[in-house]
Amino acid sequence: QSIYISSRLAFKTPTPPTLDREPNNSADQKPSTTAASNKIDKLEQTILKTAIETIPLLTIDNYLLWKN
């Protein structure tokens, strides 16, 4: 740890956490994908794609309307 002192504030740099035990491999693994999660992912992708496509492009013609 290092301590830095400025004219108004003294603070310590954070120390990284230490592991007191061996990592648990089962807790570190990703959950298995299910059909429901795949459907949700596809729905989110569709919503995102639709939202991006419906955002109008800013042009000189519609800038005056947009800024007001």
7 found inside a domain = no
Q: pTM of whole model > 0.75?
A: no
Whether the per-residue pLDDT at 43 is higher than 70: the answer is yes
Mean pLDDT of 8-26: 58
10 found inside a domain = no
64 found inside a domain = yes
State the amino acid at position 11 in one-letter form.
Answer: F
53 found inside a domain = yes
Q: For the chain, what is the domain count? A: 1
48 found inside a domain = yes
58 found inside a domain = yes
11 found inside a domain = no
Give the integer Cα–Cα distance in Å for 38 and 36.
5
What share of the chain has pLDDT > 70, as a percent? 44
Looking at residue 24, its pLDDT comes to 57
Looking at residue 50, its pLDDT comes to 85
Strand 3-5 and strand 10-12: the pairing is: antiparallel
23 found inside a domain = no
What range defines the domain where residue 63 resides? Answer: 35-68
